[in-house]
A = this chain, B = another copy of it.
Amino acid sequence: MYSSETFVRVRYGETDQMGFVYYGAYAMYYEVGRVESLRQLGLTYKELEATGVLMPVLENYSKYIAPARYDENLRIITQVKERPTARIRFHYEIYNETDKLINIGETQLVFLNKKTGGPLKYPEMLSEVLDPFFSP
């Protein structure tokens, strides 16, 4: 399993008139979690895309346990629990500043060929950095 930690500060524009973070803003937080978890392995999604790989989202799930509030520095734990195949699945746990678990999420993405739009196998560029975290 690969697990990483990153932080995201809640912006005013991400709150809504309920006084909490809008439920739709978490997708962007998950994106930050995914992208920074890869960067910590020395890989950027930008580079991956430059090699012709797109990673559209197939499924996304969120459970909202407690609200996030303006200006909180949220801690995102991003995990890849199974070795990716033609798809990759990220799990997230988001903690607020009092270390309370406030959100759980899961996103499944697929690898696509940028030119043809067709499916791609698990890219080598990704397997090189991720495979060491999974027993053979």
Contacts and interface: CB of A to CB of B under 8 A. Distances in A.
Interface in A6-37: 9, 11-13, 15-20, 22-28, 31-32, 35
Contact of A16 (B17, B23, B45): B17
A59 B44 CA distance: 30
Given A56-B67, A62-B60, A64-B57, A27 B45 contact: no
A81 interface: no
A54 B67 CA distance: 13
Contacts of A63: 58-59
Given A16-B12, A64-B57, A71 B24 contact: no
Interface of A: 9, 11-13, 15-20, 22-28, 31-32, 35, 44-46, 54, 56-64, 67, 70-71
